[in-house]
Amino acid sequence: MSTPASHIVCPHCDSVNRVPSDRLADDANCGKCKSVLFTGQPLDLDGKRFKTHISRSDIPVLVDFWAPWCGPCKMMAPAFQQAARQLEPQVRLARVNTEVAQGLAAQYNIRSIPTLALFQQGREIARQAGAMDQSQLLAWVRQHTG
């Protein structure tokens, strides 16, 4: 009996990889570019990369909509960075600079920043506006991912 596989989008080349679900934590590498699939770092996404990572990944993707001028965004950045190390490979963390990707901010009706949006298989399943510390962020993600 074969192990079910998960589709994981490479954080380096954006190729979609099939990885046995029980091997996600085993330092899997991309079949195309050979880089590690989980870096413990949030990804910076633009419009095209955003669509690929949100729609093609089988693991949840947590997106921080932020801007460089935002004080609370700057305060939350280290907690978000630490959360990436703790949540991968169960959850991919990504960031969208709303100053650069204004179309995405409009499409997802981002009215205040930071805003966290959690996506599962292409659809938004949870949203939280405002900065959180690391423990709040981890608790919120785990509450919505089972």
Active site residues: 70, 73
Ramachandran category for residue 34: left, alpha or beta (phi over 0 → left; psi -120 to 50 → alpha): left
State the Cα–Cα distance between residues 27 and 37, nearest whole angstrom: 7
Closest CA to 115 of 106, 127, 126: 127
Q: Which sign does the torsion angle of CA 108, 104, 48, 92 carry?
A: negative
Beta-bridged to residue 112, according to DSSP, are none
State the Cα–Cα distance between residues 38 and 10, nearest whole angstrom: 8
User: Two tokens at 112?
Assistant: 């205040």
